Structures are given as structure tokens and as C-alpha cells.
Amino acid sequence: MTDDAPSLEALPPLRDVIATHGLAARKSLGQNFLLDLNLTRRIARAGGPLPGFQVIEIGPGPGGLTRALLMEGADHVTAIERDARAIPALRAIEKAAPGRLAIVEGDALAADYPALAAGRPARIVANLPYNIATVLLTGWLSEAHWPPWWASLTLMFQKEVAERIVAAPGTAAYGRLAVLAGWRSRAHLLFEVPARAFTPPPKVTSAIVRLEPRAEAVEVAPALLSRVTAAAFGQRRKMLRASLKALWPKPEPILEALGIDPEMRAERLDVPGFLALARALASERERGVPPAG
């Protein structure tokens, strides 16, 4: 740290930073800023031990969580920010923590995350922009190579989305997202974040979800699992023998061979059941059986 650089603790309050740089939150960017440092530090700690990991943050905005990650011991944080207005605020943090913060100005949806991890085990810790949160998560869970480059994901979602990620079979929230998350990760809802914690406050409660990859995840093509869950949950009120006709003209023999009740509805089929269906679909493709429809 240079003699004229402030420490992280001495940086201006985030409200002052927002005012100085004209950082009014933009709905088009899905922005809602967290200004309470106690809360951001709690989120940083929820990310797990940070020393020794490449920490990646998406949408840092004025840098509240960025500061917290550095204060909680992250050796290095890579912050991806699309909003050019926020870059000067992040530069001030970079100056206060020399060599520990890399700022990537660009679209998080287009980022090369394995390259950003630079061969180190990575933890993603982020207050994700609501408008791209699910797309980012499904991309990280659908990596071609598994185990993936990331060691953990600690992410903020709208509470409703968080509940869908961790939902169990037989519950109303159980669907495609829960199957994908349950297949390749262990997902836990850690705690809720009230709307009043944000500036501006959103109309919904948020929640923090932590996901850790399952090294032993069954090998299935993500695209085929997506096809199976899309068919099953696309008509979730129907029995599987009806909803899966988009994949098999006569699903009953397939279901019965796998030990799945054809009269079951999608919301009651567990993750191993969906994986078995995806493997059956893969086997047919390998044998050259044409898809239904």
C-alpha cells in the first residue's frame, strides 16, 4: 500500500461513493446495492475460507461486497462489472488493496471463467444481478468437464429462485432448476436478506444459496437432462406417461424398465430418476433411434 492510499477500513462510506460517482441503481442492469458492511461481511464469510482461492465476484457495483471479501481474507478477488460508472469506485478499492483486486469491465455472461480462475481453485461469491442470475447458475452447473473449475458458489437470488434451487421432490418449488442443482451439487439455502437491506429496496426478499460440486456426479449430457426435465415439467400436472411423449411415442415401457411409476408426476420423481431417463435417452441416440416427433 502506498503512503497516500487509504486502507480498506478508511474508504468512504458506500452512500458517499454512490453519490460521488452518480451510481444510482439501474433496473436495466438488475442493480440493487448492499450498503451494510456487517451484512456484506457475513456473505463473504458464508463463501467459506477465502485464503488460497481465486475469488470471483459478479456485479460489484460500488464495491460493498468487494471490500468485505478482501477484509475477510481473500488473497485475490476478480470483480466483473458491466457498468462503467462503477469502475472508478472499484479503482479506489484496488488502490487500497494493491495486488489483490483485478477489475474486469465487461458482460458476466460472456466471461471466460476458467481463464479468470487461472488454474487456481475458485470461489464465486456474488450478489448476482437478478436479471441474469439463473442463466449464470445453469451455465456453471452445465460445465462440459466435471468436477468443474469452481470449488463453491455462494450466490444471492430472489428468495423464490433460491427455494427452487434447493427444493426437494414432492414440493411445489421442485422443478428443472432443483434437478440440475441436485445432480451436480450440494445446495443449501443459508439465510434470507430482507428488501430493506438494499438500495433501492427490491419488491422481494432475497436469500443466499451455497453450492458445492459433487465430484461423484453421474455422467449425463446436460443437454439431454435438460430435454427430459423440459418435457416432464412442461406439463407438470400430467403423469409422466403423458408428459414424456415428447421424447418417446410410448413412454410406459421405458419408465417401467427403469422402475419408475408411469402414473407419477414430474414433481415426485427424484434426481436419480431423471438421470436414469436422460441416460436412457442417450442410449437410444447412440443406437440411432430417431427422436419422437
Which residues are known binding-site members for S-adenosyl-L-methionine?
32, 34, 59, 81, 107, 127
Contact criterion met (CB below 8 Å) for 180 and 214: no
Q: Is 83 helix (H, G, I), strand (E, B) or coil?
A: coil
DSSP state of 200: S
SS3 call for 115: helix
What are the strands of the beta sheet with 76-81, ordered from one edge?
Answer: 101-105, 76-81, 54-58, 122-127, 150-158, 206-213, 185-193
- Which residues on neighbouring strands pair with residue 186, listed in sequence order? 212
Rounded CA separation 132/15 (Å): 25
Cβ–Cβ under 8 Å, residues 290 and 275: no
